[in-house]
Every structure is written in C-alpha cells, then in structure tokens.
Amino acid sequence: MQLNGSKNLANRTCWVFDMDGTLTLGIHDFEAIRATLELPVGMPILESLRQLPTEIAAAKYEQLREIELELARQATAQPGAHELLALLRTQGKQVGILTRNGKDIAHETLVACGLMDFFDPTLVLSRDCHLPKPEPDGILALLNSWEAAPTAAVMVGDYKFDLMAGQRAGTATVYIDTAGEFIWSDYADYGVRSLEAVVNWLEANNSLGL
C-alpha cells in the first residue's frame, strides 16, 4: 500500500475525500461529457469553461449540471465506503468532502448512494464555494473548520487533482485506483485498489500507531 515516504495515517484525525470515483463507483465518462459540451479533448472541464465567453460558458455550464444531476441519481457507493466512513466516525475522526462537482449535485449523489448521513452538510465542499482542486483551498477551509493542521489530515482521491491538492495543502495523500495502475503515484503517499484495503490497513495498524 505504501508508495512514497512514511507518513503516519492511523493517527491522523481529519479525513478529506474526493466524491466521484472515490466514495462512489466511477461512472463519469469525462471524454463523452467534453464531446457533448464541445470542449477540447483531454482538457479539464471546469478550466475549459472558464476560458469561454460568459454567455457561451453559462449555457454549457447549465448543460453540464444536467448531465451531472442525471449521473448523481445513478450513483452507487464504492465498495468499502460505508465501512471506512463508519470506522472513522467510530474512532471520533473528522470526515469531509471536497469535490469538483456542484454542491446540490454532491448532496444528490451522497443521498443516492446512502452516504449522506456520515457527513455534516456544511463539510461537503464543492466548486460552488471554493476554487476547484488541484487548488488546496477547500482542504484548507475544512482544516480551518476543524482547527487542525495539515499534518493531522489525509486526502483520499482517485485523480491526480485530488492528490495534488492534498500535497499542496500539506496532508498525507491516499490514491485509490481500482485498476491498480497508479499512474499518478508521484503525488501519493499511499496507493490502494479498494477502500476495504484502507479499512483493513487502519484496523491492522491502529494499535501500532503507524
């Protein structure tokens, strides 16, 4: 599981999660979304929208919201998500979400996959309230709410922007890649193929303080 360095995970009290593809099963086909919105191939969607004239961007943004809302209603939890969040809550740890999705869409997604009860709604941060990842602003805002230092935090995500945001904020980073390819491992302290692996690892290492 360990990729780089030797950062302590079990003693970290603040856990920030990406949502889509991390706590949920990945169903977003970003290339198809880009094609529908007629945005450049391979470029991040939010950043591409920001380059467009205001009126065109507004229309495409609305189209994006509709696509995302439809995907939100189909969302299912990543195997191990319930177990990991329940374990962290039982251990008295803080949990929050930082997503590049919209706030209402994030709530719709979490309700659809039965994970909303684990989160204080004010700790589900989205592109509507903070600069999107890879900027670290959302992570720093969560840490501010918890009055915690980055060294007490973990960022968990399935995409390089999640891991980059964690690195920039100074947290430990856990990279989930169900395919096990770990192409962005340079940005991660730990790599896992499932959230169950994190549960098992925490249970095994908790008493050792690793």
Give the binding site for Mg ion (CB under 5 A): 18, 20-21, 158-159
Q: What is the dihedral of CA 133, 78, 116, 32, to 10 degrees?
A: 50
Nearest CB to Mg ion, comparing residues 68 and 158:
158
Give min distance, CB of 206 to Mg ion, in A.
Answer: 26
- Number of neighbouring beta carbons within 10 Å of residue 27: 12
Nearest CB to Mg ion, comparing residues 152 and 162:
162
Give min distance, CB of 156 to Mg ion, in A.
Answer: 10
Nearest CB to Mg ion, comparing residues 152 and 172:
172
> What's the order of all strands across the beta sheet hosting 14-17?
124-125, 94-98, 14-17, 153-157, 172-176, 190-192
Nearest CB to Mg ion, comparing residues 21 and 191:
21
| In the complex, residue closest to Mg ion by CB | 21
Give min distance, CB of 133 to Mg ion, in A.
Answer: 9
Give min distance, CB of 53 to Mg ion, in A.
Answer: 29
Beta bridge partners of 94: 14
Q: Across the chain, where does the E strand assignment appear?
A: 14-17, 94-98, 124-125, 153-157, 172-176, 190-192
Tokens matching residue 191:
């790599």
